[in-house]
Amino acid sequence: MKQPLQFFLNQIESLQSKGGPYFPEGIFPAYRQNELIGYQRPDTTIFFSAIICFTLKSIALNADAEQQKSIEKICNDAIKNYPDFQNKDGLKTYNFWKTRPSRHFPNGFIFHRFEHFRIPDDVDDTAFIYLTTQPSPAELIWLKEKLALHANGTKLNVRNTFEEYRELKAYSTWFGKNMYVEFDICVLSNLMYCILHYNLPLNQHDEDSLHYITSVIETDRYITAPFRCAHQYPRTPLIIYHVARLIAAFDPDALQPIKNKLIADAKSILLSSKNAMDKVIISTSLMRLGVRTERIAVENLSKSDFKGFYFFIAGLLTAYENPLLYKLAVSPLFHMHWICEAHCWTLLAEYETLWNNSIEEAC
């Protein structure tokens, strides 16, 4: 068998679209589903392509020359699709779906017919696209100013969060003139990763965003109420993965108080976890934070091990600020899960790379 990293890269490359009715050339196929109602549709989103590129670029330095060429080609082919997801008016923000014209809930029968389900550009996709391209200094300054315009308290105020966070001037998940304000710990971790990566000047919005991340971990809310902390990533293993990645990369002073707690919680949750991919991302997180764990034989995992694992959701009732509807929003009946086989192979490639690095550091 080929070395695991090469095998994983081959799997990823084989899944990248060569062009078709659902997935343009270079896009990684993804599907939205709700197994409770027997729903599944191919989904033409840029999200998984962008996060796959981000993750592959992050491990490229530890790959050999041929693997680096493969990673470069995979990423270049995906990045060619970014313009189709850019803001409909040409601004430098990005959407989950194609924008000109809007292709929200693509390849379905119902949701795409309703304007209510058309979403504005979002912070998450925008951050990953900025992280996998070369934005100019002027574009980065513009983005920072744009983010402030949609932060909590600038025009609208967050309602669907815990009472103590409602005055925080943290960033919202969404751009969009009339879109409700939303706090998501994983989205904020990704955005702060982008801001710190480009060494942009910090302000109160950044400080309050980091405070939200810290408090959600300190109070155990990310364990007891993950949906309320992360509407798009409402599972504790996913929150651990995103926050640990931010801490490992930049070690912000504001997150120092939660570092040891996050490690202890991750160790405990790893022991009780039953899902193979959850074990992978929690172990990856611990390795990022300097903790060695028992090796997972990722080379023995297959597509069947990806079943039941989802990395991202949309809550169909999350947008409603009515308290009763928001209580119903936590129910899986109203959740769309997004799955992407290529991204699962990417997570295995990431794990393998970090494991090999930890072995080298220990020698």
Span 4-362: which CATH code? 1.50.10
What are the pLDDT digits (tens) for 30-45? 999 988 777 789 999 9
Q: Greater confidence, 236 or 113?
A: 236
The predicted pLDDT at position 34 comes to 86
State the chain's mean pLDDT as an integer: 91
The answer to whether the beta carbons of residues 47 and 121 sit under 8 Å apart is: no
The predicted pLDDT at position 95 comes to 96
Give every CB contact of residue 344 below 8 A, 6+ residues apart in sequence: 277, 303, 306, 309
Cα–Cα distance, 363 to 209 (Å, whole number): 38
Indicate the pTM of the whole model: 0.94
The answer to whether the beta carbons of residues 167 and 153 sit under 8 Å apart is: yes
Report the percent of the chain where pLDDT is more than 90.
80
State mean pLDDT over 325-344: 78
Q: Say whether pLDDT at 109 is over 50.
A: no
The predicted pLDDT at position 340 comes to 98
Q: Say whether pLDDT at 113 is over 50.
A: no
Cα–Cα distance, 132 to 56 (Å, whole number): 10
The predicted pLDDT at position 1 comes to 37
Q: Say whether pLDDT at 363 is over 80.
A: no
Domains of the chain by residue range:
4-362
